Amino acid sequence: MAQPLRSVEDEVPISYGRFDLLDACGLGVEAGAEEAAAGALLAEPGRVALGQVGVSSHAWAWSAHVRMEAWDAEPPPPDEPWTEAGQILYLSPGGIVELCGLMLAPSGQRLLLGPPFFAYGLRAYAGPVRTEPAEAGPAETGPAETGPVDGDEAVTEAVEEAWLLRFWPLADAAGPALRTESEAAGLAAGRMREALPIDPGSAAPRPEEWPALRPSPRPAPAPAPVIRRSHPAENAPDSDAERRFTVPQETRDSWRRLDETLGDLRIDMLGNLPAGVASWSQEQLERYATQLRVSRRIGAELNPHRAPTLTLEETSVRTVLLGPDPGFSGRAWVWGADENAYGDVLSIDREVVASDRIRRGTLLTGIVTILRNENGFVEVRAASAAEAAQVLGIERLPG
């Protein structure tokens, strides 16, 4: 029986009667003029989308409230009030998706579908529409509805429409995309289409082989209370000390605002805060806080068994086609104290590359999967056998 893995909810503005779903890794092909409608889903002919799909509004509302769900197999239909509105095959280069309006940046909310370079089923369901009285006649962007209000007929317009997007894994399409690195990333990812058509009788990927297809872990125990040190200027007394060390009030306010916005997100943040963060606007800070929260959540979802992790500079891990993004596997190089260092993380295809007797260090390598990427640093765990097989397949290709 199909089981839900995880879900997120997001609000997205509707422009020109549509909004878009994108792969967070940045690879995707817009259907463009040749797009074909699969119900409300706008994709390529054949009901296939590569990293990007449009969703056509059914009520021409101002915004959409969207619930996205990842399942381990084809899910059953939901109960009322949902109505099926289309189905396509979604080829995901990155395995993580987000929503955005036309010419607008995403909110930062993201859903982990599963492993990168996989084919997923995507089925859309339309839900209720919330309306409000129109301020000045029918809305210009779409049809208006009329209905009785206090015994009189009044014009109303759609304000918000509900959507449910459900994904489930169909097949591993990494082989065609990763068999060579000689092409541009977009072209190579586009070769995922070579995995089509998918035989209806073929076996879907087994969740036990892919950590990203396992249920989300239970929330970790709350961390022990942390005593924060205030900014030096906040408690500076009105005395000679203040005259020797004076910080402008504007700087004090900026750092206080930073602490209030990020809060405990700074406890396990990778790396240091970005340069110039104290001068960011409140909107920029809140967007950055959302990124950190989503990064932490997806990192936990990619590590459902809470395997040991290691934090490295992002340049210490080499992945194929794309940079060291969450969900991707690659080879890491790490200097350790001896040959036994980091054995619980660098355990897959582990090798001792070199020894430095002068510095008493050993260069080790192993295949890892990236959980988070923040501020130039990555958190990694040991790759599973299936994840490592993709990396080894690339490494064994003839040069």
Label residue 29 by pLDDT band (50, 70, 90).
confident
Give the whole-number percent of the chain exceeding pLDDT 90.
53
Mean pLDDT of the chain: 84
Give yes or no for residue 63 having a pLDDT over 90: yes
Q: What is the mean pLDDT of residues 176-188?
A: 67
Q: What is the mean pLDDT of residues 50-71?
A: 94
Residue 244 has a CB neighbour count (10 Å cut-off) of 8
Q: What is the mean pLDDT of residues 252-279?
A: 86
Label residue 30 by pLDDT band (50, 70, 90).
confident
Distances (CA, A) of 283 to 10, 106, 107, 189, 334: 17, 13, 11, 34, 37
- Most confident option among 69-83, 184-198, 222-236: 69-83
Label residue 143 by pLDDT band (50, 70, 90).
low
Q: How far apart are CA 351 and CA 349, in angstroms?
A: 6
Residue 100 sits at φ, ψ, to 5 deg, of -155, 155
Residue 281 has a CB neighbour count (10 Å cut-off) of 9
pTM of the model: 0.85
pLDDT tens for residues 287-326? 999 999 999 999 999 999 999 999 999 999 998 777 899 9
CA atoms within 13 A on the CB side of 378: 25
Structure tokens given for 254 = 């900026």
Per-residue pLDDT, 135: 72
Per-residue pLDDT, 366: 97
Distances (CA, A) of 164 to 65, 78, 110, 124, 383: 9, 9, 15, 6, 32
